[in-house]
Structure 1
Amino acid sequence: MTEFDLTARIGTKKECSIGGRTSYFSYVPKPLPPNPPLRMEELYPLLDRASTALGRLDGISIILPDPSLFLYMYIRKEAVLSSQIEGTQSSLSDLLLFEAEAAPGAPLDDVTEVSCYVAAMNYGMERLKEFPLSLRLIREIHSKLLNNARGGNKSPGEFRVSQNWIGGTRPDTAKFVPPPPEELMNCLDSFEKFLHDETVRLPVLIKAALAHVQFETIHPFLDGNGRLGRLLITFILCAEGVLQAPLLYLSLYFKANRQAYYDHLQNVRETGNWEDWITFFLTGVIDTANQATQAAKHMILLFDTDRTRIEESGKSTAATLSIHAYLQKQPVTNTTRLKNACGISLPTVLRSLTTLEELGIVHEITGKERNKVFAYRQYLNILNHGSEPLEY
């Protein structure tokens, strides 16, 4: 493809002003799909590998004894990772402590923000069962995403009516300035048409890759665009039937390759080179899907091994096995929750936890005499891979 062909894909720069004085240029992207069309022959080998990896991940539910368990924890890991990219310092353990009504180690606002991400994902998946992926649904999901102290003043659920920008203190010093408010709805209408245009015959993974960049470029909200843009990838794959459940999350890959991720987004806007971005994206799908598949296998092996150890310990009881099963759903918990969830007395809970501690399956993590919190540490180690907060 020639240089000239690529530049035809580049959007337009629109001169704007601040208070009628200081001028700056905003960027209005061309509608999708790219024109000239993508050079698919360059992408097909990687697309085949990505589709195979995704199919393997989607089929993991066949070997998982409880697919909802894996999904429950993986959504939480994605929430932590995606929020870390935006600057929160919450870990997965912090989120689980928060959900267990125990004090997290990270600032409460950080953990609440991550918890809202979980709520937004779950809400979106439920709505997709009866409602198409649309601007209306995107606004609803955004409202859930920003349902916290930090997001309350950022117009949750409403498209912006003022200029925003990325980097810098003002639009004229920013690294990137999205479309101005008067162009926003035209860009969003074109975006929605692309999502539903059946004449656009592109593989779903390619469609998701294009939609993610376009959404990030339009940046339609005052806050939460990055997190929602990453959620959209999974929503598109599920809405199009490529995934039966939301098992693929690219935030770990984007976090590990953060600068390359930002560079690719900007490179599309400046050069029109969508192929390089899609190559990066598909590589991420392969890596992430393979890692998730391996994590699921490790979880199955751990649960089976620990259950066998309990049964062969000579201290196996129905209560101990019941608590072990509950810890697979809630790997950070306290005695009160175990008592209520498993329907057993507090003394029985304590005896069972002592057995699990002696076997090295659970650990008490507060060091306190009262209000103790227990963690299924080896399970958390599998889940925690890559979810340590970023250094800034």
Structure 2
Amino acid sequence: MPWKPDAPYNELPLLPPRVDFETRPVLKATTRARAALAAMDEATKRMPNPMVLVNSISLLEAQASSEIENIVTTTDELFRFAQEATDSASAETKETLRYRTALFGGLEAIRKRPLSINTAIEVCTNIHRRDMRVRDLPGTYIGDPNTRSAIYTPPTGESVILRKLDNWVDFVHTTADIDPLVVMAITHYQFEAIHPFADGNGRTGRILNVLQLVEADLLREPILYLSRFIIRNKSAYYRLLLGVTADAAWEEWILFVLRGIEETALQTLSKIDRIQALQNVMRTEIREQTTAGSNADLLDVLFENPYARINDIVRRCGVSRPTATNWLNALEAIGALVDLRVGRERLFINQRFMQILSTDETLPSASADRLF
């Protein structure tokens, strides 16, 4: 039966795709993406403290991935409540922080057992903070927000969905001679097309992307995320997903994902260089402006948690509260930190670090018009 937007796509083809998807352009793009990813991963290995990136970039990924689903929060609020989402945090911030919890929970899960349907269920459950299960009721569809007409209707029926998820897992772990980056591109489409949950499929699928890269030993640390690339190319993302469904346009879709991996890896590599340069500057500022001397813990905490509290310094550096306050005040006085007062609380923001994290360099070859 041919695909129709308003009919459940129970005939969604199983993997592998029935067309030649390892075309010459795909193989060339895969080589470029692998090189960029390897360079980024190698640079991460050289970092004395990779958690500087893991903690902060995972938060920005949570923010971007949630924004794709119209769950919007500010960077300021997200980092303020990163350690503890109190009642004063907005509902959107709490939901975004659950994305990071789901990500780290998924990483812990794949260190114990291979990625599976249960991994996806666990990730989606953590995103929503309630038990999620595979859809067993009809009525789910993806629609045009203006006309409310169906753009795509995923498979329906629990047994049908589970059968397709079994096939999805088999292809994730395929032993065929297919590059893991191509596998990830294909399985991301397939997961979104199966659309196994009543809600949270997009965010779950984007977390599964990075879990696959870690499981395939292509990433030592989970620091490559595609959500910001998707936001910049959102219309192309949805158009190319639908192109696979309607026309089996696998090559265009895979090239899009590979370009996203290459661009994101190169931008992260640039961030690593700029972060290390800033760390050298702040190391000198700490030595010259405070009595901390060569206390590496102070530098680490200011980068691991760029919205630092006095108590963070007390705990991490093993000093008294007056000493921690004096150190932070001295760095604030020279502009190395920005003092933000929220009620009775003081937050000391590593603003230069935040600027590096939130700004992506434009790559000359990354023109959306040229690529998509």
Q: TM-score, normalised by structure 1?
A: 0.84
CA distance in 2, matches of 1:170, 1:317: 58
Deviation (angstroms), 1:308:
1.2
Q: Is the 8 A contact 1:216 1:226 kept in 2?
A: yes
SS at match of 1:284: helix
* 1:163-218 C-alpha deviation (Å, 9 max, x unpaired): 311125899822211111252122212212222332x3211100000000000111
- Cα RMSD, aligned residues only: 2.5
Q: 1:362 pairs with 330, 337, 341, which one?
A: 337
Alignment of 1:179-328 (within 5 A): 179-182=155-158, 183-198=160-175, 200-313=176-289, 315-318=290-293, 322-328=297-303
Determine if the alignment matches structure 1 residue 331 to structure 2 residue 306. yes
SS at match of 2:9: strand
Q: Is the 8 A contact 2:172 2:184 kept in 1?
A: no
Determine if the alignment matches structure 1 residue 116 to structure 2 residue 98. yes
Q: Is the 8 A contact 1:53 1:290 kept in 2?
A: yes
Determine if the alignment matches structure 1 residue 371 to structure 2 residue 314. no
CA distance in 2, matches of 1:74, 1:324: 18
Q: How many residues align?
A: 357
Deviation (angstroms), 1:382:
1.1
Q: 2:33 pairs with 27, 31, 50, which one?
A: 50
CA distance in 2, matches of 1:95, 1:177: 34
Determine if the alignment matches structure 1 residue 127 to structure 2 residue 124. no
Q: Is the 8 A contact 1:319 1:344 kept in 2?
A: no
**What letter matches 1:26 in structure 2?**
P
Q: Is the 8 A contact 2:44 2:272 kept in 1?
A: no
Q: 1:137 to 1:331 in 2, by over 3 A?
A: same
Q: Is the 8 A contact 1:100 1:332 kept in 2?
A: no
Determine if the alignment matches structure 1 residue 340 to structure 2 residue 315. yes
Q: Is the 8 A contact 2:40 2:265 kept in 1?
A: yes
Match of 1:27? 9
Alignment of 1:49-128 (within 5 A): 49-101=32-84, 108-128=90-110
SS at match of 1:121: helix
Deviation (angstroms), 1:293:
0.7
CA distance in 1, matches of 2:244, 2:274: 38
Q: 1:169 to 1:291 in 2, by over 3 A?
A: closer
Deviation (angstroms), 1:43:
1.3
CA distance in 2, matches of 1:320, 1:236: 37
User: Structure 1 regions of 5+ residues with no counterpart?
Assistant: 1-10, 16-23, 387-392
Q: Is the 8 A contact 1:310 1:321 kept in 2?
A: no
* 1:231-269 C-alpha deviation (Å, 9 max, x unpaired): 111111111122222221111100111111111111110
Match of 1:389? none
User: Structure 2 regions of 5+ residues with no counterpart?
Assistant: 361-372
CA distance in 1, matches of 2:79, 2:19: 47
**What letter matches 2:324 in structure 1?**
V
CA distance in 1, matches of 2:80, 2:342: 15
Q: Is the 8 A contact 1:141 1:157 kept in 2?
A: no
CA distance in 1, matches of 2:85, 2:148: 45
The sequence identity of aligned pairs, in percent, is 29
* 1:30-81 C-alpha deviation (Å, 9 max, x unpaired): 0111112324222111111111001001111232111122212221111111
Match of 2:123? 141
Q: Is the 8 A contact 1:98 1:104 kept in 2?
A: no
Q: 1:223 to 1:92 in 2, by over 3 A?
A: same
Q: Is the 8 A contact 2:332 2:338 kept in 1?
A: yes
Q: 1:363 to 1:171 in 2, by over 3 A?
A: closer
* 1:353-385 C-alpha deviation (Å, 9 max, x unpaired): 2210122111112376x3222211111111122
Query: If you compute each CA radius of gyration, which structure gives the higher value, 1 or 2?
Result: 1
